[in-house]
Amino acid sequence: MTISLSTDDFDYELPKELIAQIPIEPRDSSRLMVLDRETGVVAHRKRFTNILDSLRTGDLLVFNDSRVLAARVYGRFVRQHAPEVSRGGAIELLLINRLSTRVWQCLGKPSRKLRPGVKIALEGNGFSVNAYILSVGLNGLRTVEVEDEEALVKVGTVPLPPYIHQLLDDPERYQTVYSRELGSAAAPTAGLHFTPKLMDRMRVMGIEQAFVTLHVGLDTFRPVQTDDPANHIIHTEQWEVSQSTADAVNRAKFDGRRVVAVGTTSVRVLETAAHAANGMDTVAAGIGSTGLFILPGYSFQAVDAMVTNFHLPRSTLLMLVSAFVGREAILNAYQEAIKERYRFLSFGDGMFIA
């Protein structure tokens, strides 16, 4: 179904003081808003652990197990025709997407000097690795080849979103407790609320758990700039659904049990896998890249409920949850969250939509 949309339709005023700068401790002590998508009724819960009151025996929760890469890398230019390394010209790269072994897409600055053929030395944490600029693509994305990928992981630091201005005492706090597949430029933040104890309690209740992988890329932080969001080009991200997870989802759908996606990244993976199934099952196992952009009017095939955070104005993530709930209902819920002083964005409070 086609719906006429304007990016302005997804705008709202977010008070800066509500943008959470540090994670709350413990992880599952954040607040939780519960939104009924059929009625639009909002309920407030004091702790995220109260999500157990909204879950049912037999629910299948699907988590994104991607782990944040130490994707912010600093370095300097190497003189091409001399053995010594230039002392000037600081470089900063943000790794976005692994294209193949030792080859990455990234953003970089100073952009005008990072031309094809340029050699750079990336350094940090007592390690160093040489790299080469292969090409420059759309939106300033550079393709870079590194000599040693293991060293690349060691030289970088974990990047925080641009709206967070405080450094973390513990970088692990920007990883989910179940993260294992290295490759994201940003955390799948809805999962930051979960603790091993909470996940154990869910298992005891008969709530099933499964894992997918989506390596989160640049668009998590990028507002839509086009007037018509349908004209926005979303970056592709790498995804994987194992056969065991596909089987778990298909069993749940056959049994009439809910599939609950933990985070918008899990939503995109599941819906991508649903398209790959071609009607044979609800989802198919697979691996690849996805540019799925979910806007109002989209018909969800796999996801019945969603755990998410509160998202930036004019963002693709706000558009996705609007497609799931309805634009007016989600914006009304956001206004209620602002009124009740919820914490927003990556380290903010959670929302359960069912």
The rounded distance, in Å, linking the Cα atoms of 312 and 98 is: 26
Cα–Cα distance for residue pair 137/130, rounded to 1 Å: 21
- % residues pLDDT > 90 (the chain): 76
Question: What digits encode the pLDDT tens for the residues 218-245?
Answer: 666 678 989 999 999 887 889 999 999 9
Determine which of 33-37, 85-89, 171-175, 299-303 has the lowest per-residue pLDDT on average.
85-89
Residue 18, pLDDT > 80, answer yes
Q: Please check the confidence at residue 2 and state whether its pLDDT lies above 60.
A: no
Cis omega (within 30 of 0) for bond into 229:
no
Tokens of 138: 């759309």
Q: Which residues face 97 on adjacent strands? A: 105
- State the CB neighbour count (10 A cutoff) for residue 346: 26
Average pLDDT estimate for 128-151: 92
Residues 6+ apart with CB under 8 A from 126: none
Could you tell me the domains of the chain? Answer: 7-68+168-353 (3.40.1780.10), 72-155 (2.40.10.240)
- Residue 1: pLDDT above 80? no
What band does 85 get if pLDDT is binned at 50, 70 and 90?
very low
**211-216 mean pLDDT:** 96
Read off the pTM.
0.89
pLDDT for res 82 = 42
Specify the pLDDT at position 235: 79
Q: If pLDDT is split at 50, 70 and 90, which confidence band does 117 have? A: very high
| 8 A C-beta contact, residue 14 and residue 344 | yes
- Residue 131: which residues within 8 A CB-CB, separation 6 or more? 75, 119, 120, 121, 122, 144, 145, 146, 147, 152
Range in 25-29, 110-114, 337-341, 346-350 with the lowest mean pLDDT = 110-114
Q: What is the 3-state secondary structure (H, E, C) of 21-74?
A: CCCCCCHHHCCEEEECCCCCCEEEECCHHHHHHCCCCCCEEEEECEEECCCEEE
Angle in degrees, CA 258, 261, 263, rounded to 5: 155
